[in-house]
Amino acid sequence: MKGDALSAPRVSYLIKWVERGLRLKLDAALQEHGLSAHEYTALSVLARRDGLSSAQLARRTLVTAQAMNQLVIALEKRGLIVRKADPEHNKIQRASLTSAGRKLVVACDRATAPVEALLLSGLSNVETSMFREALTSCLDALQPDFDTRKREATPATAD
């Protein structure tokens, strides 16, 4: 039995390969909509949490602030988001989806749904729920700031 555990692939290795495969399929699904996975993630976060600053958006999408700044500028130039100064902190720009951005998120949600369905196709509904809980626990253990439940429950704060 011990030999089986030693010959089994490490969980971290499996997660990395799942992430790589998922990313390839998501990129392919998003390509027809002209978005990268990072752009889609940012737009999806804004669809749930309007008015985030670039720094907040960077934390929620797991990219650097510098990378998010470039991404936000590009999305704004494409008319998918608008930024407005925070009324209490003029240096902070709050991002919101435009009508075109909202429509694109809906289209991309439809385009990426089959990818997630494929990912979970070997699992029952109960196993999917358990898998989600296990991944959330792993995420919480690695970095509490990544816990989306806490993020969604707290109001946006100035950065």
Give pTM, 2 decimals.
0.79
Q: Is the pLDDT of residue 14 over 60?
A: yes
Structural tokens at position 135: 């991944």
Q: Looking at residue 52, what DSSP letter applies?
A: B
Tell me which of 51-65, 82-96, 131-145 is least confident: 131-145
Residues present in the chain in total: 159
Q: Which domains does the chain have, with CATH numbers?
A: 10-153 (1.10.10.10)
By the 10 Å C-beta count (0-12 exposed, 13-18 middle, 19+ buried), 38 is classed as middle
Q: Which amino acid is at 54?
A: S
Mean pLDDT of the 126-132 span: 97
**Distance (Å, rounded) from C-alpha 38 to C-alpha 47?**
14
Mean residue pLDDT of the chain comes to 88
Structural tokens at position 73: 């500028």
Whether 80 and 29 have beta carbons less than 8 Å apart is answered as no
Structural tokens at position 131: 């898998």
pLDDT at 145 (0 to 100): 57
Give me the residues paired with residue 85 across strands.
Answer: 93
pLDDT at 143 (0 to 100): 76
pLDDT at 3 (0 to 100): 54
